[in-house]
Amino acid sequence: MQTPKVLRAGLDYYYRAFGGSRNRWGDYSGIAVDPSDDVTFWVYNEYAIQRGDVLDDYPDEDGRYGTAFGKFTVSEAVDSVLVDVTVMLEGPYDADGDTMKTALLDQGLIPTSQPYNVAPWNYDGSESVASVPAGVVDWVLVEIRSGTESSTQVARRACFLKSDGSVVDLDGASPVKLQAAAGDYYIVIYHRNHLSVMTANVVSLNTASATSYDFTTGGDRFYGGSSGAKELETGVWGMTAGDANASGGIYAEDYTAYQTSQGNEGYNESADFNLSGGVYAEDYTLYQINQGKESNVP
């Protein structure tokens, strides 16, 4: 949509030299649709451009009217599709309860603004909250694509991952809303230090109700099969931990990130693979068992 246009109000007055009404108001306006398309409108306002002064027995100038006009374009309304995804992260996963730990939230470390505005995601969304909802494990980035390649990206949104694996919007409960028309899309999930995953096939998304997709139920739920995911316990699948530099693979550089930050604490420690709030031996263990693995997301 174009930037707002300030139109003259179409309201002024002029003086008359005789004893009649001293003021006359101009407030004539019209609107027309541009014949070249059906979303550009022209607005016209008539207004007085000069007031006459009374000199002796008559005005030295007539009251004159002019016309101001401007145009504005109404952009096409964009629909929003609803996504209800379930996914687990290996790092904070707790097999005893089939849930993920919320250590980052418990320590008050999760930022109130989305963290994916840096490379390699470079997502410029303004998602933020006054306070992080209960039960949140971390921020994730949800993307939908019309095809398998990254160049077919249609929409993205940063949102929250809760301990039960549900991916929710900023209120901590609602399905994720993405600006796109109803259709068939691949769904991609990104996390700061886990290998990204994508749905095995396109998923039909609509605007009326949320479409559910559960990554946890099997290796066949992931694009490229089980090689791009991790069986966290028998029958439960999730995203693989250990990608400190978010390169899409777990290599020596990720070990270097661990080695140089060992003992450090805080949210921005990318080698905190188990999301405990600090970089410790448990994080090295996750790197060690996953080194050499790669994401299957193109």
Q: Tokens representing 206?
A: 């609509």
Does residue 42 carry a pLDDT above 90?
Answer: no
Q: Report the distance separating Cα 27 and Cα 9, nearest Å.
A: 8
Strand partners of residue 187: 144
- Residue 79 has a pLDDT of 87
Domain positions in the chain are 1-76, 80-290
- pLDDT category of residue 58 using cuts at 50, 70 and 90: very low
Does residue 52 carry a pLDDT above 70?
Answer: no
Residue 180 or residue 35, greater confidence: 180
Q: Tokens representing 241?
A: 């931990």
Residue percentage of the chain with pLDDT more than 70: 74
80-86 and 211-214 beta bridge pairing: parallel
Lowest mean pLDDT of 6-15, 182-191, 197-206, name the range.
6-15
Q: Tokens representing 19?
A: 């004893």
- Residue 169 has a pLDDT of 99
Q: How much is the average pLDDT of 9-18?
A: 46
Residue 289 or residue 43, greater confidence: 289
Does residue 147 carry a pLDDT above 90?
Answer: yes
Does residue 15 carry a pLDDT above 60?
Answer: no
Does residue 64 carry a pLDDT above 80?
Answer: no
Does residue 65 carry a pLDDT above 80?
Answer: no
The CATH code for residues 80-290 is 2.60.40.4130
136-145 and 197-198 beta bridge pairing: unpaired
Question: Does residue 175 have a cis bond before it (omega within 30 degrees)?
Answer: no
pLDDT tens for each residue of 170-186: 999 999 999 999 999 99
Does residue 226 carry a pLDDT above 50?
Answer: yes
pLDDT tens for each residue of 79-120: 899 999 999 999 999 999 999 999 999 999 999 999 999 999
- Residue 214 has a pLDDT of 99
Q: How much is the average pLDDT of 220-228?
A: 97
Does residue 55 carry a pLDDT above 50?
Answer: no
- Residue 40 has a pLDDT of 63
- Residue 207 has a pLDDT of 95
Residue 153 or residue 12, greater confidence: 153
Q: Is the pTM value of this prediction over 0.95?
A: no
Strand partners of residue 9: none
| Helical ranges in 82-199 per DSSP H | 103-106
- Residue 74 has a pLDDT of 57
- Residue 44 has a pLDDT of 58
Looking at every residue in the chain, the average pLDDT score rounds to 86
How many C-beta neighbours within 10 Å does residue 288 have? Answer: 12
